[in-house]
Structure 1
Amino acid sequence: MGSKTGGECLRDELRTLFLFEHLTDAQLDILCEAGSIETFPAGPLVVEGEPATCFYVMIDGELVMSKRSGGVDIQTNKTSQRGVYFGAWSAYVPGEEHIYEASVRLSKPSRCFVLDANAFAGFMQTQFPMAVHLLEGHMVGGRRQSQIIGQREKLLALGTITAGLTHQLNNPAAATARAVADLREGVGHMRHKLAMVAEAKFTPEALRVLVNIQDQVAEQVAKNKDLELSALEASDREDQIGDWLEDHEIAGAWDYAPTFVEAGLDTDWLERVSSLVDDVDASASLQSAIGWLKYTIDNELRMNEIAEASKRISALLADAKQYSQMDRGAYQSANVHELLRSTIMMFGDKVGYQGKGRPVTIIKDMDKTLPELQCYPGDLNQVWTNIIDNAIQAMDGKGTLIIRTARENDQMIRVEICDDGPGIPEDIIGRIFTPFFTTKPFGEGTGLGLDLAWRIVVEKHGGNMSVQSKPGDTRFIVCLPLVAPPPLTPTPGELSAAGTE
């Protein structure tokens, strides 16, 4: 910072500034006695984040105000208006740590009225005690209100997510229950068929081969579970097997055919079974053998269903764990694609990828080369949840959601969440990140979802968050640094003090 030069503080000059024009002579004299008028060269005057030691009012000159975001200074104001104030403007609020909330750089030599922060606080508290109480209540009360309703916003999001997860868990759980019931019935049928096989008086060699075929059938069912036939292929194969069974006078031929097709069997398998019974009564023995294999297949298929449902439940719980980050540290390395995937999963049947027949289709355009982030993963999942939930509501539960990731520069990554809803009107788009602003009907929204997302991205991670919108294309753009500011580590003195409270 450049050196300053001083000048005499005159009450008449202070009175020409809009901030002081209604003060009494006595009040202006207090200010002149406590402060001074200084001339500063062009250059930085106030640095964001440093202790707020002085209150400034510009008399003549020009200043540029900026805020730091994602490692970059973003200009928020440039003005030469007389009377513009900055610095320790909230020093009069007691019990707060006062730091400069923005940086100020003078773009040319400027004259400012300068007042020590403590002197400014004392002046406000003695001369305008009611105003100080009102402003203190507004600041502190507003912050507490934001915190309380912010927690409610998180709970509302959690309720939405929990409902989706519950629905998703219910599907495989119900499938497991149905499969167990079918399996119990199938085992009963197998016992009956086993008795029929015994009555058919198979030779020991035929029984040995039949058991061998049963083992091969079970193996074939396991291999076939990931193979899918088209509807036409399945129908053709059912016709072939059904015709073969009818030709061999098997009762219930067309009931058996779909089961054999699902297991991946064909008429060659059936011919092998038929060749085993050439030394006994053919119709009775073949009927028993085919029935035995049919119930073997049924049971294998039901066990596959139970295994798949169990895997699905385990995967859902793993995704829920990833989403909540409940077993991990608050600040850690994380893959942004894994965070997005676990968040999408939590929306359950509301969303799905192309071809899944869900109301909202998701299209992903991901840069797989992105490095992991040092970040607060649980908080970022809250950001994705709030944006995606808003998009689903904007599309009235049906439409297309596009998620893109890319590099923004060498130090940041970019995440875009886009929807094809009606868009955000121009007259309100500038206010959507404002606390308590909502377009939802009274009582249905807190207006803190996007404010919370903004604070997580900008304040906690040092990133940027913006929105672009037109009908059919609304984009929320989140830019995150590769390394977010880590949590503050208490000093030994602070830890000692905390332990004695």
Structure 2
Amino acid sequence: MTAATPAPGESREALTPDELRTLFLFEALDDDQLAWLAGRGRVETRQARTHVYSQGEDATCFFVLLSGTVALSRQLHGDDIELMRSDQKGAYAGATQAYLGDRVDQAYPNTMRAVTDAEFFVLPAAEFATAIRTWFPMALHLLEGLFFGLRASDIIVGERERLVALGSLTAGLTHELNNPAAAAVRATDTLRDRVAHMRRKLALIADGRVDGKRLHELVEVQDAAVRCARDARKLTAIEAADAEDELGDWLADAGVENAWDIAPTFVAGGIDADWLAEATAELSDDNRRAAVGWLNYTVDTELLMGEIGDAVSRISGLVDAARQYSQLDRAAQQRVDIHELLDATLVMLKAKIPAGVRVVKEYQPELPLVPAYGAELNQVWTNLIDNALAAMDGTGTLTLATWYEADHVYVEVRDTGAGIDPEIRPRIFEPFFSTKPVGQGTGLGLDISYRIVVNKHGGDIRVDSRPGDTRFRVCLPMVRPSADEPL
């Protein structure tokens, strides 16, 4: 090679066979093969922050890195996702599938950028394909079978994994939605019955035995009862039992039927014996009993409407959590509230959290917003929490902690399970590695989490584990490096 640096994209003298042999990709080739490559390849340079090639363009060249740093990225739904960076001499990319010919779309599957000034050995795609077909016929058949076989299996497995993940989340969400929805249905049916009884009680009071002025006063009493029910304080079990006993005695003395059945309704609505005695003081015994029944249905109706309102609010909250979890209405990358993402993930996984597992939140107040891809981070939290639950085997404490330090936000997922065996700890972030039995888990969770945190967010994820205390710590930078700057 000469010392002179040509203009961007300009070719200069080719590498010699001996220089090609220093690249790991070509080190096993014989002299004739190296000479053939040297005669057909060229050396090109690219300046920092320029494209070597772009995704979707015709794949015309095979690139081998000689010096500098490059980054590979892909566009996905308008979002530029960085796949990797490398400064390793001999790293290659470009028309790597040229040997498959027209059986696959010969376009660059990603974009390569020169992060720093970079130099490449460039081989035309047609020449690269010829070399593979001519020199490695057996390897060609193996590569073809591997490529098409993996592509077919990836489609099948990918679809299955998406269905399993969707089914798991859907099952959890429908389980959570079922409780408030069923409560709302039950309360609505009971409310319909109570309103019918209240109309009959009103007829008993207003059949002519109570004058208009007194009826107006009873309506005011009804309004007061509604306000009491709306503002009633939640009593402890002992307080409620004592209040029901006292009110039940008063109702029984007043000749009210089913005194002990209706006393709990009044107590739940914040109404005691003194309140009822004052409200019905000027009524005859018959009218007092009718008025008490009417007020009971009034309070019961208000409590049922409150129950329906709570159920609908819970449903709305679950739907909001699902939207927050999926981030479907958000831009791909934006400043996100980490606490909102963690809480949404907990809601989605609530059905999977055993009764014997206690969830503790140690959130730092006023945690800064983080520039991130919210949906991907939720996948990280899902994987880490799911692994923590599996490690505890139904009993223990799951702790989610957050804090801010030195322009980084930290999230820690802790569990009190058996811990990770030191012998396998170095492998936990490897693709497809799993300690779970066959059929349980995919071995993809921690690998995906690592790539999302490290490659996509420029952060870090580490683990510290001992029996009874395993901690996965995620570090996210407050300022993302640009796509053309080293991480």
The TM-score range, normalised by the shorter chain, is 0.7 to 0.9
| Other structure's SS at 1:415 match | strand
Give the superposition deviation at 1:212.
0.9
Whichever residue aligns with residue 322 of structure 1, its letter is Q
1:276 pairs with 2:282:
yes
1:381 pairs with 2:387:
no
Residue 393 of structure 2: aligned partner = 396
User: What is the distance in 1 between the residues matched to 2:17 and 2:70?
Assistant: 30
Q: Deviations over 1:193-251 (max 9, x none)?
A: 22332358223333222111111001111111xx2111121122112212222333333
User: What is the distance in 2 between the residues matched to 1:47 and 1:141?
Assistant: 37
| Structure-2-length-normalised TM-score | 0.75
Residue 438 of structure 2: aligned partner = 442
Alignment of 1:66-465 (within 5 A): 86-88=90-92, 93-94=97-98, 95=106, 96=108, 126-131=134-139, 134-135=142-143, 138=146, 142=150, 149-198=157-206, 201-224=209-232, 227-277=233-283, 280=284, 283-351=285-353, 358-410=355-407, 412-465=408-461
Structure 1: tracts of 5 or more residues without a match: 37-45, 57-62, 69-73, 78-83, 105-113, 353-357, 489-501
Preserved contact between residue 414 and residue 470 of structure 2 (Cα < 8 Å): yes
Give the superposition deviation at 1:92.
5.3
Preserved contact between residue 153 and residue 449 of structure 1 (Cα < 8 Å): no
Q: Deviations over 1:337-369 (max 9, x none)?
A: 1111111111234349xxxxx443211111233
User: What is the distance in 2 between the residues matched to 1:364 and 1:484?
Assistant: 27
Kindly report the root-mean-square deviation, in angstroms, between the aligned alpha carbons of the 2 structures.
Answer: 4.4
Q: Deviations over 1:233-287 (max 9, x none)?
A: 112211221222233333322222211110101222112123121xx4xx32221
User: What is the distance in 1 between the residues matched to 2:191 and 2:93?
Assistant: 75
Distance change in 2, residues 1:242/1:22 (3 Å): closer
| Other structure's SS at 1:86 match | coil
Distance change in 2, residues 1:147/1:284 (3 Å): same
User: What is the distance in 1 between the residues matched to 2:27 and 2:378?
Assistant: 50
Q: Deviations over 1:432-466 (max 9, x none)?
A: 32222223332333322333223322232232223
Distance change in 2, residues 1:30/1:453 (3 Å): same
User: What is the distance in 1 between the residues matched to 2:198 and 2:339?
Assistant: 48
Structure 2: tracts of 5 or more residues without a match: 5-12, 43-47, 54-61, 73-83, 99-105
| Other structure's SS at 1:427 match | coil
Distance change in 2, residues 1:87/1:191 (3 Å): closer
Q: Deviations over 1:126-177 (max 9, x none)?
A: 4334435645765786577557634543432221111111011111111111
Worse-superposed segment, 118-127 or 440-449: 118-127
Q: Calculate percent identity across the aligned residue pairs.
A: 46
Preserved contact between residue 351 and residue 360 of structure 1 (Cα < 8 Å): yes
Whichever residue aligns with residue 279 of structure 2, its letter is V
Aligned residues: 446
Give the superposition deviation at 1:10.
8.5
